[in-house]
Every structure is written in structure tokens, then in C-alpha cells.
Amino acid sequence: MSSIRTHLELAGWPSPGAVLALLKPITWFPPMWAYACGAIAVGSYIDGRLLQVLLGILLAGPLLCGTSQAVNDWFDRDVDAINEPHRVIPSGRVPGQWGLRIAIGMSCLSLAVASLLGSLVLLAAVLGLALAWGYSAPPFRFKQNGWIGNGVVGLSYETLPWLTAAAAILGSTPSWQLTLIALLYGIGAHGILTLNDFKAIKGDRELGIMTLPVQHGALPAAIIACLVMALPQAAILALLFAWSAPYHAFAVSALLTLQIICMVRFVRDPVRYAVWYSAIGVALYVSGMMVSAFALRAMTAPFAMQL
């Protein structure tokens, strides 16, 4: 394996390990989980479409999310050369223009796979790619502002996969109930993205990247992140009660209560506890997503009317 890598590097090609590192598999989980939630939410309609669902999960994670990571690293290569020179592009493990080539190639592959799943999925993939490139690439570069950038990622990583999975299985627009739940979880994900910004406040301030901690300070940003995560979940549990799904609502309520307990510690020292809270709070958050998906599945018959 090492000899293959050496030959590739001598030929000016990145090694498979370097390409995988560029695509950051650890980031694939949120959109894959959201796609699974969307599929489960309309589970009574699946009827032997497991292969289609698995292909959609592949599209949401390794392909579209992997593409977004390659795009982001390519357009951040100069900044990373200063702050994180060990990354694969500034370190030379992905040499020359290969970062851009991989981003473009992954975009094309994503569209090809999306086309196999129907026009609705293809349209969603086009939108997802537009947001991914707009997040990192000029002239838009949404990531320069924490309010805009985190919102774009939250909707791309959570809401869009939810709706795409449901639309792919149904062959039509999902119910307004499912759409509302998916939108609320996407909004809440804005707070999750803010948690990642506390580790680089000094560098972001120097580089003019206006994350919420840079704009408002660590403590106010922490409070904002907690509220943005908690309020949509509170709305969701209220909706579940209203839709006669009390057991699911109680489960979401319990998960939210545990998050709030963790939030108290996080707010006391946001910079110190951001990573800790991200690990615990996000796990509780996405667990609530799955509970809500099963609630929607149970309510499929009463809410069968499509938009």
C-alpha cells in the first residue's frame, strides 16, 4: 500500500488516503442520519425500496457532504496554510489543482447518482450543491457571516435530506407536517454549527470571519446557540402533543430536558465546554430527530394528504 501511495505522489496524484481525508467521513453522519429520518417518517410507503433509500443515504453523506468538504478545503487553502498546515491541501498530500478537480468531480458524480433517484432528488441535489459552493466560494462565501453560513449548513445538512428522502419515496411533495418538523430541526442545527466556532475565536477574529462568538462574544453566542437549539425542539414537542403523539412528545421532552441540563454547564464556560457539549448535546438532539420521525410514521394515515 505504501508503494502505491509513493508512486501516486511521484506522479503528482493524491493517495486514496489523502482523498478520503479531504472528504472528511466524520462529517457525513448528520445528513445521512437526516435522510434516514425522512425515509422512516414515510416508512409505510417504502414497500421494498430499501436499495433506493440506501442509495439516497450514500448521496446525502459521502457524495454531497463529501463534495462540500472538498469545496470548503479548496477555497480555505490559504487560510489553512496559516492556521492548519497539516490539512491535506496545504500539506501537499493533495497537490496542485487536485482539490478543485476532486470537488468538481464529486459534484458531477453526485448529480449522476441523484438522477437515478428521480427528478425531485435531482432538484434537491442541485440545490444542495449550490449551497455547498456558495458557502465556501466567492463571491457569496456565506461562511463569512455566522448567521448566514450556519443557517445554510443547518438547512442543507438536516432539512434538505429529510425532505429529499420523503419526496423520493412518496414520489411527491411531503406532507406539511413532515415539512414543518424537518424545517424546525434544520433551524435548530444552526445552534449546533455555532458550537464549532468557539474553538477558533481568535483566528476567526484576525481573519475577519464573523462567527457568532466573534460578533457577539463567547457568552452571548453560547446563549444564542442554546436558544436556537432548544426553541425548535420545544415547538416540535408541542406539535407532537397537538397531533396526538404524546409518547413521542414525552420522549422528545426528556431528551430536551437533558440537553438543557448540559447547556447550564456549557454556558458557564463556553470556550472550555463547547466540544464537550457538542458531543453530548448533539447526540441527544439527533436522537429526538429519530423519535420525531417515528412519530410522523405512526401518523402517516391521518396525514396522508400531500401539498
The domain that holds 153 is classified in CATH as: 1.10.357
Q: Are residues 288 and 197 in the same domain?
A: yes
Give the count of domains, the chain: 2
Which range of residues forms the domain containing residue 160?
A: 1-170
Instruction: Write out the chain's pLDDT in tens, 307 residues.
Output: 555 555 555 557 899 999 999 999 999 999 999 999 999 998 766 667 788 899 999 999 999 999 999 999 999 898 788 778 899 999 999 999 999 999 999 999 999 999 999 999 999 999 999 999 999 999 999 999 999 999 999 999 999 999 999 998 888 889 999 999 999 999 999 999 999 899 888 878 887 889 999 999 999 999 999 999 999 999 999 999 999 999 999 999 999 999 999 999 999 999 999 999 999 999 999 999 999 999 999 887 444 434 3
Q: Are residues 237 and 106 in the same domain?
A: no
Q: Are residues 158 and 54 in the same domain?
A: yes
pLDDT of residue 3: 58
Q: Are residues 280 and 210 in the same domain?
A: yes
Q: Are residues 149 and 281 in the same domain?
A: no
The answer to whether the CB of 19 falls within 8 A of the CB of 102 is yes
The answer to whether the CB of 258 falls within 8 A of the CB of 282 is no
Buried b (16+ CB within 10 A) or exposed e, 6-38: eebeeeebbbeebbebbbbeeebebbbbbbbbb
